[in-house]
Amino acid sequence: MKRILFTVSLFFIFSFAQGESNQKDININKGNIINKNVSIKGGKGTGFSVDNSKPIEIGITSFENDGLDCSFSVYMINHQPVSGIQIDINSNDSFLISDVSGGRAEDSNFALHYNKNGRVLGFSMSGGFISESSSQDQSENVLFNVKATSNSKLNFPITIKPIFADRDAKKMEYKSIPFQIGK
């Protein structure tokens, strides 16, 4: 009985401590160093707010090509957790995927599977998810990185056709942004 009371007491103390830590205001005055007042009042600090009514935005944030090999990063700005992805990258048969790795998908312990024609699947066997984005900056929302090989000059838009699943395995709305190569 004492163990139970002790455990419950620790739970309440921990819960109260967590609540207190989320309500702190930080005011910094560094006038002598940079001659500015800075006031931080919680939040994510980037002006980004989660809006569950917005669709997921997906696109390509960077593209490098040395003539034979190319690499690019696929980004995802999401306002709700994502528990599964299927993405078809339309390469117009101009490049073949040789590797998909990294980004928020791997950070969220997603297994990434792909084929050379541009289909990428990502999910967590433990039921994990990719949490909501914390900014609108594409480079801070890289979903994964792609390496590919090409035997022709790349001069076309790359389009992405995704399917996203939420925590209840329901299909999520998206907006895909085409990426123009070579112009």
Average pLDDT score over residue span 43-47: 50
Average pLDDT score over residue span 33-57: 58
**Composition of the chain by helix, strand, coil, percent to 5:** 15, 40, 40
Q: Output the CA angle 14-18-21, nearest 5 degrees.
A: 135
68-107 residue pLDDT tens: 888 999 999 999 999 999 999 987 777 899 999 999 999 9
118-138 residue pLDDT tens: 999 999 999 999 999 999 999
In this predicted structure, what is the pLDDT of residue 80? 95
CA 176 – CA 119 distance, rounded (Å): 15
153-162 residue pLDDT tens: 667 788 899 9
Distance set, CA 100 to CA 31, 39, 118 (Å)? 47, 41, 10
pLDDT at 175 over 90: yes
What dotted CATH number matches 56-180?
A: 2.60.40.680
pLDDT, greater one: 130 or 3:
130
Residue with tokens 């599977």: 113
Domain ranges of the chain: 2-40, 56-180
The stretches of 24-144 forming alpha helices (DSSP H) are 31-34, 103-107
**β-pair type (69-77, 56-65):** antiparallel
Average pLDDT score over residue span 162-175: 95
pLDDT at 7 over 80: no
Mean pLDDT of the chain: 78
